[in-house]
Amino acid sequence: MMRQNQLVREIIKHKYMYLFLFPAIVWFFIFYYIPIYGVTIAFKDFSIMDGILGSEWIGFDHFERMFGAPEFTRVLRNTLIISFLKLIFVYTSGLFLALALNELFHDKFKKIVQSISYLPHFLSWVIIGSIMVEILSPSSGLVNYMIKAFGGKPIYFLAETEWFVPVLILSDVWQSVGWGSIIYLAAIAGVDPQLYEAATMDGAGRFKKIWHITLPSIANVIIIMMIFNVGNMMNAGFDQIFNLYNPMVYEVADIIDTYVYRVGLVQMDFSFSTAVGLFKNVIGLILVLLVNRMANRYGQTGLW
Amino acid sequence: MAIVGQRRRFTLFDYVNYLFMVVLCASVLYPIMYLFFLSVSTREGLAEASSSILLWPQGFSWGAYEGFVKQSYIYTGYAYTVGRTLIGTFLSVLFMSLAGYALSKYIPFKKSITFYFILTMFFSGGLIPTYLLIKNVGLIDNPLVYILAPPFLYNTFYMLILRNFFMTIPGSLEESAKIDGANDLRLFFTIMVPLAAPAIATISLWVAVNHWNSWFDSIIYMQSPEKQVIQVHIRKLIIEQSARMMSQTVSFFDKAEAPTGESIKAAAILITMFPILCVYPFVQRYFVKGVVMGAVKG
C-alpha cells in the first residue's frame, strides 16, 4: 500500500516527463508496433477487402512457395555476394584511407582532402545514380569516351551482368570511403605518441610502425566495425541498387529488398512479399544478436 | 602549414600517397565540375568540341537552367522538398529532444520505455505491413506522410544521442531553477535546450539532410506527381529516362536554341544537389562530431 502510493507520487511528480514521452510512445506504437502485428499476413491469404484481421490463416504456404521459387534463391545469393564483396572492399577502403591520411605531412592538405572526400556521403543515391548514368552512358558518357579514345569498344556498364557488380562496389567505395575513415582517424588520434617515438628510437620504418603500433592500437575498433558490418549482411544496399539496376542485370543485381519491393508493391502480392521480408528480418535479427555477443566478447562495447 | 617532423624525408611512398590523395579529390570534384560545364555549354559548343572530356564550358549559356524556372514540376518538387525539410526537421528535433530529455531523468518505468523504443531498431514489420498501415490511416497521397511516416519523426538512435547529452548536464542547474519556481516545461525550454544546443544542432543537421535526400517515401506513398519531391523528378528524368518527362522539359525551349538533353540533365542534377553543395562544407564538422559521439557512447 505504502509502496504503491510512493510510485503514484513519483509518477505525478514527473508528470511532465510522461507528457514529453507520450507522443513518442504513441508514434512508435502506430508506426512500428502495428506493422509488426501486420507481419501476420505472411501466414494469411491476405486480401485488401477482408483486411488483416478478416483474411484467412493458411500457415506456411507462402514460405514453401518462397523456398521453391528460383528467384528467391537468386536474390538470396545476390544479397550475400554483394554484401560480402562490400564487406571486403568498402569496409577496408575506409581503414586504408585513414592510414594513408595519417601519413600526410601537411595538416592543411589533410583537412582539405578529408573535406572533399566527405562530399559524396551527403548526396542521395538518386543523385549519385544520376551522375553514374550520365558518366557511364555508352553514347555520350565520359568513361566510354575515354575507352573509345584508347581504341576500345564502348561498354554499357549498367546493363551488362559482368560489369554491374564491380560498378556497384566501386561506386559504394566512392560514396563512403571518406566518411568511413572518420572512426579510424579518431581512433588513431588516440594512440599514445610515445609509442611511435620509442619505435623510431628502435629504428622502425613507417610500415613497421603502422603494422606494429597503429593497427594493434586500433584493433578493437576495427574488429567492432567489422562485426557490425557482418550484422548488416542481409542489407546489400537498397537505395543504391534500386537506383542503378534494370531488368537486364536482375540476374546479378536483384537483392531481397528490391525483390520485396517489386513483388509486393508492383505486383501487389502482399502476403508473399511479406513472407520474404519476414525471412530477411528474422535472419537479420539473428545476425545482430550473434554479432552483439561477439562485440561484447572482443571489446566489451556491444550495443547492450 | 609547417612540415611536421623536420627530420622526415619525402620518400617514394610519400609521393605515391600525395598523388593518391590528389586523385581521390579529383574523382569527387571532377564529376561535379563536368556536370557544371556540360550544363552551361551550348548545343553548338558541344557539337564543335572534339571530346566529351570537358575541362571548361563549350560556349556559355544559362539556357538549361532557364528552362527549369518555367517548369511546374521543379517548383512543386522543390517546394515539397524544402517544406518537408524545414517543418519535418523542426518537429522531429522538438519531439526527439523532449523524449530524449525525459529519458535522461530518473522516472518510474524508464527502463521499460527505453526498451520499447530500442526494440524497433532490431525488428520491424518491413515494407509491406508499413505500407498497409500508412494506407489504412489515410496517409497515401497526403503530404503529412512526409513528416509522420517512419523513419522521420522519431529515430531511436538520435533520441539516445540526445539523452546521453542531456545526462551530461549537471543536475544542480535544474534544482536551482526549480527553487526559483520554474516547472519542467519552462525548465526544458529556457535552460536545457540552450545548454544542449550543440547536440540539438548536430541532430537537426542529420535529420535535415535525410529529409532533403529522401525519395523512396515519395515514390511509394505519393501518387500525384505534383506532390512528389524533387529527387523523384530527377529520378524520372535521368534514371528511368522517362520520355514524357524529357519532352515536357524540352518543350519549354525554343527549338533552335534548345540546350542538348545532356545539358538539361546535368542542370537538373546540379539544381537538386545545389543546397547540399552549399551547406556541406560548413556542417560537416558537426557531422563528424556526431559520428564520433555516437560511436563512443552509442
The predicted pLDDT at position B7 comes to 55
3-state secondary structure of A56: strand
- Name residues whose C-beta falls within 8 Å of residue A151's C-beta, 6 or more positions apart in sequence: none
The predicted pLDDT at position B1 comes to 37
Name the minimum distance, in Å, from the CA of B235 to any CA of chain A. 6
Surface of A (131-160) touching B: CB under 8 A? 131, 133-135, 140-142, 145-146, 149
Show the DSSP H helices in A14-155 as ranges. 15-28, 34-38, 51-54, 61-68, 70-102, 107-118, 125-136, 142-149
Please check the confidence at residue A289 and state whether its pLDDT lies above 80.
yes
* Contact status of A57 with chain B (Cβ, < 8 Å): no
**Look-up of cell digits 517546394:** B79
* Contact status of A266 with chain B (Cβ, < 8 Å): no
Rounded to whole angstroms, the Cα distance separating B207 from B157 reads: 12
Q: A31 vs B13: CB contact, 8 Å cut-off?
A: no
Is A106 within 8 Å of B1 (Cβ atoms)?
yes
Nearest CA-CA partner of A123 in B273, B215, B271? B273
Q: A17 vs B102: CB contact, 8 Å cut-off?
A: yes
Nearest 10 degrees: Cα torsion B101, B105, B108, B109 = 50
Surface of A (74-103) touching B: CB under 8 A? 97, 100-101, 103
Q: A130 vs B34: CB contact, 8 Å cut-off?
A: no
Reading the block at residue A106, the C-alpha cell is 601537411
Name the band, by pLDDT with cuts 50, 70 and 90, for residue B2. very low
- Contacts with A97 from chain B: Cβ below 8 Å: 24
- Contacts with A123 from chain B: Cβ below 8 Å: 213, 273, 276
- Contacts with A182 from chain B: Cβ below 8 Å: 288, 291-292
ipTM of the predicted structure? Answer: 0.88
Q: A21 vs B103: CB contact, 8 Å cut-off?
A: yes
The predicted pLDDT at position A32 comes to 94
Strand partners, A45: A56
The predicted pLDDT at position B42 comes to 81
pLDDT higher at A151 or A93: A93
Q: Which residue of A has its CA nearest to B33?
A: A131
pLDDT, one tens digit per residue, over B46-86 is 777 766 677 778 878 887 888 777 777 888 899 999 999 99
Q: Helix %, strand %, coil % for chain B, to 5?
A: 70, 0, 30
Q: A31 vs B131: CB contact, 8 Å cut-off?
A: no
Q: A134 vs B122: CB contact, 8 Å cut-off?
A: no
- Contacts with B24 from chain A: Cβ below 8 Å: 97, 113, 116-117, 177
3-state secondary structure of A57: strand
Q: A109 vs B21: CB contact, 8 Å cut-off?
A: yes
Is B166 within 8 Å of B158 (Cβ atoms)?
no
Q: B5 vs A105: CB contact, 8 Å cut-off?
A: yes
Is A186 within 8 Å of A152 (Cβ atoms)?
no
* Contact status of A24 with chain B (Cβ, < 8 Å): yes
Is B290 within 8 Å of B202 (Cβ atoms)?
yes
Gyration radius of chain B's alpha carbons: 25
Alpha-carbon distance values, B127 to A141, B151, B275 (Å): 35, 12, 30
Name the minimum distance, in Å, from the CA of A81 to any CA of chain B. 22
| pTM of the shown model | 0.88
Query: What is the total residue count of chain A?
Result: 304
Q: What does the DSSP assignment read for A147-203?
A: HHHTT-----GGG-HHHHHHHHHHHHHHHHHHHHHHHHHHHHHTS-HHHHHHHHHTT
Question: What is the pLDDT of chain B when averaged over all its residues?
Answer: 85
Q: B28 vs A108: CB contact, 8 Å cut-off?
A: no
The predicted pLDDT at position B146 comes to 94
Q: B101 vs A20: CB contact, 8 Å cut-off?
A: yes
pLDDT, one tens digit per residue, over A182-227 is 989 988 988 888 888 888 888 888 888 889 889 998 888 888 888 8
Q: Which residue of A has its CA nearest to B139?
A: A31
- Contacts with A10 from chain B: Cβ below 8 Å: 107-108
Rounded to whole angstroms, the Cα distance separating B137 from A65 reads: 31
Neighbours of B269 (CB within 10 A): 27
Please check the confidence at residue A39 and state whether its pLDDT lies above 50.
yes
Segments making up each domain of chain A, as ranges:
59-298
DSSP state of B50: S
The predicted pLDDT at position B62 comes to 84
Is B213 within 8 Å of A123 (Cβ atoms)?
yes
Q: Of B108, B124, B185, which has the smallest distance from its Cβ to A7's Cβ?
A: B108
Q: Mean pLDDT check: name the lowest of A58-62, B3-7, B64-68, B79-83.
A: B3-7
Q: Which fold has domain B62-296?
A: MetI-like fold (1.10.3720)
CATH of span A59-298: 1.10.3720.10
Q: B154 vs A27: CB contact, 8 Å cut-off?
A: yes
Q: A21 vs B272: CB contact, 8 Å cut-off?
A: no
pLDDT, one tens digit per residue, over B126-164 is 899 999 999 999 999 999 999 999 889 999 999 998 998
3-state secondary structure of A44: strand
The predicted pLDDT at position B298 comes to 41
Rounded to whole angstroms, the Cα distance separating A14 from B113 reads: 14
The predicted pLDDT at position B51 comes to 66
pLDDT, one tens digit per residue, over B239-273 is 887 766 666 666 666 555 677 778 888 888 999 99
Please check the confidence at residue A100 and state whether its pLDDT lies above 80.
yes
Q: Of A10, A28, A270, which has the smallest distance from its Cβ to B120's Cβ?
A: A28
Q: Which residue of A has its CA nearest to B4?
A: A105
Question: What is the pLDDT of chain A when averaged over all its residues?
Answer: 88
**Look-up of cell digits 575541362:** B55
Q: A10 vs B292: CB contact, 8 Å cut-off?
A: no
Q: What does the DSSP assignment read for B134-189?
A: HHHTT-TT-TTHHHHSTTTS--HHHHHHHHHHHHTS-HHHHHHHHHTT--HHHHII
Selected for mutation to probe chain A from B95, B128, B276 (highest A CB count within 10 Å) is B128
Range ranked top by mean pLDDT from A48-57, B1-10, B218-227:
B218-227
Segments making up each domain of chain B, as ranges:
12-60, 62-296
Q: Which residue of A has its CA nearest to B272?
A: A127
The residue type found at B116 is: Y
Query: What is the total residue count of chain B?
Result: 298
